[in-house]
Amino acid sequence: MTHASYRVHVDPDKCQGHNRCYSVSPELFDLDDLGMSSEVGAGLVPADLIGRARLAVANCPEQAISLTEATEATEAAEAVPARAEAQP
Ligand code: F3S
C-alpha cells in the first residue's frame, strides 16, 4: 500500500523574491542572499504542514510554487544512494 505525501517546488525562473512563502512556512522554504526562495531539502511536506504549503502556493504572486503528490515508492527510489554497495 502506498501512502500519499506532498512535495513543494519553487521555480527559480518565476520566483521574484516576494518572500511570502518563507513568511508562511520557514520550515518548507529557504531564502538565498538575494531573497530568492527554494524548497528545503527535497521539498517533502510533513503532514502537519500541508495547510501551510497550500497557503504558500496561494500567496505567491508569481505562481512560482508547485505542490505535487509524491508516493512512498517515489521517495524510496530517491533515497537509494547513487552508487550501490559492491556485493561479495
Ligand atoms: Fe519567490 Fe513567491 Fe516565495 S516570488 S520568494 S516563491 S512568495
Q: What is the pLDDT of residue 70?
A: 82
pTM reported for the whole predicted model: 0.79
pLDDT in tens, 39-69: 999 999 999 999 999 999 999 999 999 999 9
Is 47 a domain residue? yes
Instruction: Output the ligand 1 site: residues, CB below 6 A.
Output: 10, 15-21, 37, 60, 62, 64-65
Count other C-beta atoms under 10 Å from residue 30's C-beta: 14
Is 10 a domain residue? yes
Count other C-beta atoms under 10 Å from residue 28's C-beta: 25
User: What is the rounded CA–CA span in Å between residue 86 and residue 65?
Assistant: 40
More confident residue, 68 or 83: 68
Is 86 a domain residue? no
Cα–Cα–Cα angle for 37, 6, 36, rounded to 5 degrees: 5
pLDDT in tens, 4-42: 689 999 999 999 999 999 999 999 999 999 999 999 999
- Count of the separate structural domains present in the chain: 1
Is 88 a domain residue? no
The alpha carbon of 5 and the centre of ligand 1 are apart by a number of angstroms equal to 22
Q: Which atom of ligand 1 is nearest to the CA of 31?
A: 5
- Residue range(s) defining the domain that contains residue 24: 4-73
